[in-house]
A = this chain, B = another copy of it.
Amino acid sequence: MKVKVVTRILEANDRIAEENRKKFSDAGVFVMNLMGAPGAGKTTLLERTIQALKPRMKIGVIEGDIVGSDDAERISALGVPVVQINTGGACHLDANMISEVLDELPLRDLDMLIIENVGNLVCPAEFRVGEDMKMMVLSVAEGHDKPLKYPLMFRESSALVLNKIDLLPYMNTDMHKVRNDSLALNPKLNIFEVSCTSGAGIDAWATWLSGLRS
Residues of A with Cβ closer than 8 Å to B?
Answer: 2, 5, 9, 37-39, 41, 65-68, 70, 89-91, 118-123, 126, 139, 141-143, 145-146, 148-152, 164, 166-167, 170-171, 197
Contact = CB atoms under 8 A, between A and B. Distances in A.
Given A139-B39, A143-B39, A148 B91 contact: no
A207 B71 CA distance: 38
A41 to B, nearest CB: 8
6 contacts: A37-B38, A37-B39, A38-B146, A70-B149, A91-B122, A167-B170
A31 B126 CA distance: 32
A9 B9 CA distance: 15
A91 B149 CA distance: 11
B89 A39 contact: no
A163 to B, nearest CB: 10
A121 B122 contact: no
Contacts of A166: 170
Contacts of A65: 149
A147 to B, nearest CB: 11
A81 to B, nearest CB: 22
